[in-house]
Amino acid sequence: MELHGYFRSSASYRVRIALNLKGLHYDYHPVNLLKSEQREPAYRSLNPQGLVPAVIEAGHVFTQSLAILEWLEEQHPEPALLPRDPLTRAHVRALSYNIACDIQPLQNLRVLKYLQSELAASEEQKIDWIRHWIDGGFQALEVQLKQGPAPFAGGDTPGMFECCLMPQIYNAERFGMDMERYPHLARIAGNCATLPAFERARPENQPDSTL
């Protein structure tokens, strides 16, 4: 298994957590987003979107982090990233998509670059933009998570939602957001932080964090 990603990329970070939770070994191939390597032909031959991550398994290339998680789940079912009960499964997927489809894309590098270079947004306006969209998404998640005191969104074990949550919190904190405003998310994050699979996946623990 190969993972092509970038240490700070939240979509790559999701996949790293999932691979670690499932105990799957992988070779890491850094793609430096600051040097625009994601747009070079060599990487676009893996993902024509020019976005990380991409995973290669058994000669097949997989893109889109949540599609990769679903693939891993089907190929390597244990330990599961999704709960068995269909209703809880749907709930966990909806929470995950909130982050992956509706929060993170608005802070993607290419979006932020466009804001600044084409729409002349200042650094301060860019940071306001980032915080605004994370805050709206996190507030909705707080309401959706109110129901249960379970340690993780899907029950007793972490899964797809936690793979999305920890990278999004990493981004929120990078931009100065205070997680005390989101107690349910902070509680789940605290539970994840005690687990080696999450610790090993942290951006600062990746080989390209020091390049």
Ligand X SMILES: N[C@@H](CCC(=O)N[C@@H](CS)C(=O)NCC(=O)O)C(=O)O
Residue 112: CB minimum distance to ligand X, A: 8
- CB-nearer residue toward ligand X: 20 or 47: 47
CB of 108 to ligand X, least distance (A): 4
Task: Find the shortest distance in angstroms from Cβ 146 to ligand X.
Answer: 26
Q: Are 61 and 46 in contact (CB under 8 A)?
A: yes
Select 64 or 144, whichever has its Cβ closest to ligand X: 64
- Give the nearer residue to ligand X in terms of CB position, either 109 or 115: 109
How many Å apart are CA 166 and CA 24, to the nearest integer? 19
Residue closer to ligand X, measured from CB, 11 or 82? 11
- Rounded to the nearest whole angstrom, what is the least distance from the CB of residue 110 to ligand X in the complex? 3
Shortest separation between residue 196's beta carbon and ligand X, angstroms: 23
Which positions touch ligand X (CB under 6 A)?
9-11, 33, 38, 51-52, 64-66, 100, 108-110
Give the contacts of 4 (CB within 8 A, at least 6 positions apart).
Answer: 29, 30, 31, 43, 46, 47, 52, 53, 54, 55, 56
Query: Which residue number, 13 or 184, has a Cβ lying nearer to ligand X?
Result: 13
Angstrom distance (rounded) from CA 30 to CA 208: 6
